[in-house]
Amino acid sequence: MTPALHTSSLTSLPLLARGKVRDNYAVGQDRILMVASDRISAFDVIMGEPIPGKGELLTKMALFWFDQLGPKGLNICPIHLTGEDPQSVVTAAEVPQVQGRSMLVRRLQPIPVEAVVRGYLAGSGWKEYQSSRSVCGVPLPEGLHNASKLPAPIYTPAAKAAVGEHDENITYERTVEMIGADLAARIRDISIRLYMAASEIAARKGILIADTKFEFGLDAQGTLVLMDEVLTPDSSRYWPAESYAEGGNPPSFDKQFLRDWLETAQVGGKLWDKTPPAPRLPREVVEKTAAKYREALQRLID
pLDDT, tens digit, 9 for 90 and up, residues 53-81: 999 999 999 999 999 999 999 999 999 99
Q: Count how many Cα atoms sit within 13 Å of the Cα of residue 187 in the half-sphere of its side chain.
A: 33
| pLDDT of res. 165 | 63
Structural domains in the chain plus CATH codes = 53-78+108-269+292-302 (3.30.470.20)
Q: Give mean pLDDT, residues 176-182.
A: 97
How far apart are alpha carbons 90 and 86 in whole angstroms?
8
Average pLDDT of the residues of the chain: 94
**pLDDT-above-90 percentage for the chain:** 88
The answer to which of 63-72, 98-107, 161-170, 275-284 has the lowest mean pLDDT is 161-170
Q: With 60 as the cut, is the pLDDT of residue 163 above it?
A: no
Give pLDDT tens digits for 218-232.
999 999 999 999 999
Rounded to an integer, the average pLDDT of 127-152 is: 96
Query: Which string of DSSP letters, residue by residue, matches 74-98?
Result: T--S-B-B--S-GGGGS-GGGHHHH
Share of the chain above pLDDT 70, in %: 98
**Are 265 and 279 a contacting pair, CB within 8 Å?**
yes
What pLDDT does residue 302 have? Answer: 84
pLDDT at 168: 85
Predicted model pTM: 0.94
Contacts 24+ apart (CB under 8 A), 63-67: 63/103, 64/300, 64/301, 65/198, 65/230, 65/231, 65/232, 66/226, 66/230
pLDDT of residue 162: 64
Looking at residues 191-204, what average pLDDT do you find? Answer: 98
Confidence of residue 256 (pLDDT cuts 50, 70, 90): confident
Q: Indicate whether 164 pLDDT > 90.
A: no
Q: Are 179 and 113 in contact (CB under 8 A)?
A: yes
Asked if residue 255 has pLDDT above 90, the reply is no
pLDDT at 194 > cutoff 90: yes
Residue 20 identity (one-letter amino acid): K
